[in-house]
Amino acid sequence: MDSGMTSMAAMRSFRRDPSVTAREIPEGTVRRILGVAGPYRRELIAFLSLVVLSALIGVLTPLLAGEIIDRIARLSGTAGDIVQIALVIAGLAVVDAGSSLAQRWYSSRIGEGVIYDLRSRVFEHVQQMPVAFFTRTQTGALVSRLNNDVIGAQQAFTSTLSGVVSNAIGLVLTATVMLTLSWQITLLSMVLVPLFVLPARRIGKRLQEITRESYGLNASMNASMTERFNVSGALLVKLFGRPSVEAEVFRDRAARVRDIGVLSAMYGRTFFTALTLVAALATALVYGLGGSLAFAGELSPGDVVALALLLSRLYGPLTALANVRVDVMSAMVSFDRVFEVLDLAPMIAEAPDAVDVPAGNRSVEFDSVSFSYPAAKDVSLASLEDVSLPEHGGPPAMVLQDVSFRAEPGQLVALVGHSGAGKSTIANLVPRLYDVTGGAVRVGGVDVRQATGDSLRAAIGVVSQDAHLFHDSIRANLRYARPDATDDALWAALTGARIAALVASLPDGLDTVVGDRGYRMSGGEKQRLAIARVLLKGPGVVILDEATAHLDSESEVAVQHALDTALAGRTSLVIAHRLSTIRNADQILVVEGGRIVERGTHPELLAAGGQYADLYRTQFTDGEHTVDDTGRAVEVG
């Protein structure tokens, strides 16, 4: 088997959590949908009133047409009387046209309002979710909720609601009038209807299942496109030579969506055709039986024509109502998928009695902190993950245990250790990207769980090893930290970050677009722009997460100079890969297995001859350099 087929087999071997496909629409969904429509109560009443008016006009027009036929057949009245009735019919047509336009305006107002409300609620809610949510969730699946599912939900208040109301009212009125004209013909024309309506109800559940599967597959395709169409994903596909495999996986999903679309269309068309056939046969029955009754004197010619015209308005609503279960269930599925996101409560929320972090105190303290990452069910939804497997039982593993230290205002504390030791986890707890499992993290003496989000964000600035920039101008990326910053403040921040000269040399200067995730800039340039963003923000606490780990020597020197400016006078928590950059730290913490195993200054830790000394000598004994007893690098030979 070639490598492509092996990869395909491996990807197909992943199994989706059964809870995704087996999920039923919960009770109370209808009540919540009505709650969404609450702000549009007046528009809904006006809309439904116009729908009722159109239904009444639809019944009156055939009766007036029948009256014209009767007068012509009996040669009763005058030509002027017939013209008057015709003018009434024309007037009703004009009113119906105006009503149709008004219905469209109201339905658009309601539908677009619902889209706006739901999208705004979902977007705001997702912004409040913890980082753990985004580490598990596929971006494309979230985008699908805000686009496809919200629009599907909107259909409930436009086409579905108006269709149900108008068809139901039209059906009742039409059947009532027909029964008054000839109950025999009415009953005979409807005798075949149950043969088609009852199976339509049974097929509703199956259509609900394939609709949900279709939404899931569309979300999966969106997720795949979102990941593969950004710069990082496109580079990965090109560098590892898998475009044909990616295309085949996408075609498989798209083919299933196609097949579901065909199946759904055939279900609907089959019932539509069957009921249309019934309507045609019933119309023939009306003309045949009605004509016979007219010759026998039991019906007038106008009644026969009116019955035939009314019958067309009887089977139309019947056809639509036979399929309305599909539309209703589709809307219910869309609403359920939106509510599913809204019902996922953020694990990190601001306390009701939250207080601001003091402006004058920028200490950072860890007090017997323990931490374990939350379970998937607590932070994410299986339906938002293209591959979601049931998690193994048992308590989550502890990542940090009994971590305690304090960084006084203005001090630099460095975290060192092997990859996976827990350094980044410690850094992530300070800005409250996660909440501790035990103990407390304090900034300025305030437990971060009791601090207001705005004051905590204002107090802390972060520069990570993969600085993220939006696909926007340099100016917009910098002002994301401080929207009211002047150009002079921007240039001052760029100067402090040692990148002002480069930006000034660009043809568009501050208006230069950096590209998707900043990919038009080099790694060192991105880092210095990220540092400029932090300088512009002016936080009292700065966290550096291996900010120079993947840079070349020249870029590292430039970034290190920029960092010296950024850290001056600020409390700093630095995760260091290159130990040479933290020799002057006020305190160095060696992290191993989620614990602090050593602490002290650079000379103290070297003299202790422990793990830090081993790490340091390993880095500086490379065949050209070694270290002396004081820890200084010296040339060999």
What pLDDT was estimated at residue 591?
92
Domain match, 419 and 338 both: no
Q: Could you give the CA distance from residue 517 to residue 321 in angstroms, rounded to a whole number? A: 50
What is the spatial distance between Cα 477 and Cα 482, in angstroms, rounded to a whole number? 10
> 552 and 417, same structural domain?
yes
Does residue 563 fall inside a structural domain? Answer: yes
CA dist., res. 574 & res. 604, Å (int): 18
Cβ count within 10 A of residue 122: 19
- Per-residue pLDDT tens digits for 25-68: 667 777 888 788 888 889 888 988 898 888 888 888 888 888 88
Domain CATH code at residue 579: 3.40.50.300
Considering only 285-294, 331-340, 543-552, which range has the smallest mean pLDDT? Answer: 543-552
Q: Are residues 368 and 327 in the same domain?
A: no
Domain check: are 304 and 370 in the same one? no
CA distances for 623 relative to 284, 449, 594, 617, 634, angstroms: 100, 49, 32, 12, 11
Average pLDDT of the residues in 75-88: 80
Q: Do 498 and 407 share a structural domain? A: yes
Q: What pLDDT digit, counting tens, does each position of 421-469 carry?
A: 889 899 999 999 889 999 999 999 999 999 998 898 889 888 887 778 8
Could you give the CA distance from residue 485 to residue 493 in angstroms, rounded to a whole number?
10
Q: Please give the angle made by the CA atoms of 364, 368 and 374, to the nearest 5 degrees.
A: 95
Q: Are 315 and 197 in contact (CB under 8 A)?
A: no
User: Which DSSP string corresponds to 298-365?
Assistant: SS-HHHHHHHHHHHHHHHHHHHHHHHHHHHHHHHHHHHHHHHHHHTS--SS---TT-BPPPSS---EE
Query: Cα separation of 89 and 165, whole Å?
Result: 24
> How many distinct helices (H) and strands (E) make up the chain?
24, 12
608, part of any domain: no
Same domain? 472 vs 510: yes
* 9 domain-assigned: no
What pLDDT digit, counting tens, does each position of 490-534 carry? Answer: 998 888 888 888 899 989 989 998 887 777 888 778 888 888 888
Is it the case that residue 243 has pLDDT exceeding 50? Answer: yes
> Per-residue pLDDT averaged across 538-561, rounded?
72
Instruction: Identify whether 359 is part of a domain.
Output: no
* pLDDT of the residue at 200: 58
| Burial class for 474, CB neighbours closer than 10 Å (0-12, 13-18, 19+) | buried
Residue 618 lies in a domain: no
Bridge partners of residue 447, in order along the sequence: 442
Same domain, 88 and 187: yes
Residue 272's pLDDT band, with cuts at 50, 70 and 90, is low
pLDDT tens across 108-128, in order?
A: 888 888 888 888 888 888 888
Measured CA to CA, the distance from residue 598 to residue 605 in angstroms comes to 8
Do 442 and 337 lie in one domain? The reply is no
Residue-number span of the structural domain to which 74 is assigned: 29-342
CB-CB contact of 186 with 175 (8 Å):
yes
53 and 93 inside one domain? yes
Within a domain: 533: yes
Which residue bears the tokens 């075949």?
A: 192
Residues 431, 335 share a domain: no
Task: Clarify whether residues 288 and 160 are in a common domain.
Answer: yes
Confirm whether 625 is domain-assigned: no
Q: Residue 622 falls within a domain, yes or no?
A: no
**Per-residue model confidence (pLDDT) at position 75:** 64
Domain shared by 370 and 310, yes or no: no
Structural domain count, the chain: 2
**Cβ-proximal residues to 381 (8 Å cutoff; 6+ apart), any chain:** 137, 340, 341, 344
Average pLDDT over residues 373-384: 74
Tokens at 387, concatenated: 């591959």
What is the CATH number for 133? 1.20.1560.10
